[in-house]
Amino acid sequence: MIERWALVSGLRGDLETYDLIQRDLKKTRGVTALFVLGDLVGLERNCDALLDRLRNPHRGDLKPDCIYGWWEEQLLAERGFRGERKADALRLSQGEDAVSALLNTVNPSHLKWLASLQFGFIELDCALIHGSSSDVGDNLTSETSPLILLDRLTRLNVNRLFTARSTKQFHLELTGGGINSQVKDLNGKREQQQEVPKRSVIGIGAGLNYTLYDVGSDKTHFLTASSTTNPKGKGFA
């Protein structure tokens, strides 16, 4: 079966953007799944309408599968869902006002649902995570050392890692290389050679910038949801 995934992140409460993406996807052929890789909430605007829509999709919406991201992690930590930890990372980077602003953008009735979201999905040989297996805030880009990218892929033992934290769109493929290793212990020496496996890290973008992934052909398409209404589009809801 031909599968095509849509990957979205960084909506941060922006229902209008989500709506534009849903409209785009309706016009796109063959999209079989919609993954929302975290940062559903943010502090710029009230997030309740978007959360309502994600939890109760409209008729005709592609049903979203959501995981939590860095902003949910901050919110949930501050609301006592992460044991002793609080929104320390946010507090450190943007101060106390940002923390209280974040608390005010989400109605507490959504917290339990947000807390039920998973850290990531493993689909086929792909991992879908907001940051990486190392941390929800792991900021991977095409500039990140390939050694670190390979480490993140190895930890999950997957061939492709879809990540969103950097908000960038990129598809970086590890195409070759290797390493020699010699281990000496009390039993003697042994040599080992290891090849770089053919694996990729894909940044899916954020907000209006989203990604389509064709599973069969391993092709990514980096798209931007268009704010102009398609004149041929029928306006029914």
Partner 1 sequence: MNHAIISCLHANLPAVEAVLNDIDRQGIDTITCLGDLVGYGPQPNEVVELIRKRDIATCQGCWDEDIIDGLNACECSYPSQLAERRGHLAHQWTDDQLTDENKSFLASLPTSLRRDRLLFVHGSPNSQHEYLLPDMDAFAALERVETAGADILFCGHTHQPYVRELRDGSIRVRLQNADHDCDQGEELTLPMRKIVNAGSVGEPRHGSTNATYVIHNDTTDEIEIKEVPYDVGRTCQAIVEAGLPKVFAWRLSHGFEFAEQAEDASHVCER
Residues that bind partner 1 (CB under 8 A): 133-135, 142, 145-151, 154-155, 157, 170-187, 192, 194, 196, 200, 219-222
DSSP class of residue 36 equals: E
Nearer Cβ to partner 1, position 22 or 169? Answer: 169
Q: Provide the minimum distance between the beta carbon of 187 and partner 1 in the complex, in angstroms, as a whole number.
A: 8
Nearer Cβ to partner 1, position 55 or 198? Answer: 198
Nearer Cβ to partner 1, position 46 or 141? Answer: 141
Q: What is the per-residue burial (b if ≥16 Cβ within 10 Å, else e) of 157-179?
A: ebbbbbbbbbbbbbbbebeeeee
Q: Which residues contact 140 (CB under 8 A, 6 or more apart)?
A: 131, 132, 148, 149, 152, 161, 163, 165, 166, 201, 203
19: number of Cβ within 10 Å: 15
Q: Provide the minimum distance between the beta carbon of 85 and partner 1 in the complex, in angstroms, as a whole number.
A: 10
Nearer Cβ to partner 1, position 107 or 194? Answer: 194
Return the CA Rg of the chain: 20
Q: Provide the minimum distance between the beta carbon of 54 and partner 1 in the complex, in angstroms, as a whole number.
A: 26
Nearer Cβ to partner 1, position 116 or 192? Answer: 192
Q: Provide the minimum distance between the beta carbon of 73 and partner 1 in the complex, in angstroms, as a whole number.
A: 12
Here the tokens at position 209 are 């910038």
Q: Provide the minimum distance between the beta carbon of 186 and partner 1 in the complex, in angstroms, as a whole number.
A: 6
Q: Which helix (H) or strand (E) holds 210?
A: strand 209-214
Q: Provide the minimum distance between the beta carbon of 90 and partner 1 in the complex, in angstroms, as a whole number.
A: 19
Nearer Cβ to partner 1, position 43 or 172? Answer: 172
Here the tokens at position 91 are 């507090």
Of 84, 79, 87, nearest to 115 by C-alpha is 79
Left if phi > 0, otherwise alpha if psi is -120 to 50, otherwise beta: which for 188?
A: left
